[in-house]
Chains A and B, each alone.
Chain A
């Protein structure tokens, strides 16, 4: 019997899709600088590969329960928000909104609340998300 391959990813990543069918996360990521995209991709790759097992600080809570953010430090502080699942909480993460943190404030404002709304939209209609599209 072959053991599970430890190099295989444990989680699937998804992106929120807006009402017009646009991948909001992809569009936001395309607007980032190359180095920011690289730093974000490392964290997403590790999240997909291992979840938070090895890197518990990769995800931190937001004021809104059930919504977490990825912290990417640098000249611009990136805080894209995501949730576990929300279809399968054991095997998936879904990126909900692209966010920057400027002077202790989220840009866009109330991003965590918007993320929660989007999470509910996906719970109601699983077609409002798509497999994560990598930008580099």
Chain B
């Protein structure tokens, strides 16, 4: 997919094209994530609709990749139903390109608040999640690790791996 990243970097020199591409992608990604989160919880559209105080038809519309009229209010209703928080931010196009290259069902899954906070607490409040942190146990070459974890190299801050990792 490095090829796609390079292609998009070149194509995004055109402002009109870049904005149209990213707008379409983000619409599709939100719709896909709603479906992924619903299925992760084993819910039907009707169950999500009940949790979000919507009609089932509305959920079906929101899961359609053609939907393009998102409002923060709607997203917050869904976030409440999924017990997640909505993060809205302005991003660089390079960040968007990496999101495109990495998207899959797994990357869109999110555990809900209680489970997340439990894991977060038992995980030294995120410190163990630091890929190159002292708690990490890495026996393979960094590039191999990056590939097998499905991460983009650009996502990782490089730290000199001089220490011996047991």
Which residues on A are within 8 Å of B, measured CB to CB?
2-3, 5-9, 34-35, 37-39, 41-43, 45-46, 49-50, 53-55, 57-58, 71, 73, 134, 136
Q: Is the CB of A9 within 8 A of B1?
A: yes
| Further 19 A-B residue pairs, CB within 8 A, beyond A6-B106, A136-B11 | A2-B147, A2-B148, A3-B148, A9-B4, A34-B20, A35-B16, A38-B16, A38-B21, A42-B25, A42-B28, A46-B103, A49-B1, A53-B104, A54-B36, A54-B103, A54-B105, A55-B28, A55-B65, A58-B28
Which residues of B sit under 8 angstroms from A55, Cβ to Cβ?
28, 31-32, 65
Does B138 interact with chain A (Cβ within 8 Å)?
no
Which of chain B's residues 53-105 have a Cβ closer than 8 Å to chain A? 63-66, 68, 100-105
Q: Is the CB of B36 within 8 A of A38?
A: no
Which residues of B sit under 8 angstroms from A41, Cβ to Cβ?
11, 21
Does B150 interact with chain A (Cβ within 8 Å)?
yes
Q: Is the CB of B104 within 8 A of A54?
A: yes
Which residues of A sit under 8 angstroms from B102, Cβ to Cβ?
6-7
> Chain A's nearest CB lies how many Å from the CB of B144?
6
> Chain B's nearest CB lies how many Å from the CB of A43?
8
Interface size of B in residues (CB-CB distance below 8 Å): 35
Which residues of B sit under 8 angstroms from A134, Cβ to Cβ?
7
Q: Is the CB of A54 within 8 A of B32?
A: yes
Chain A proximity mask over B41-52: 1 for CB below 8 Å, otherwise 0: 000000000000
A85 to B7, CA, bound (A): 25
A134 to B2, CA, bound (A): 16
Does B152 interact with chain A (Cβ within 8 Å)?
yes
Q: Is the CB of A53 within 8 A of B24?
A: no
Q: Given A2-B148, A34-B17, are A73 and B100 also a contact pair (CB < 8 Å)?
A: no
Which residues of B sit under 8 angstroms from A73, Cβ to Cβ?
66, 68
Q: Given A45-B4, A55-B65, A57-B64, are A6 and B100 also a contact pair (CB < 8 Å)?
A: no
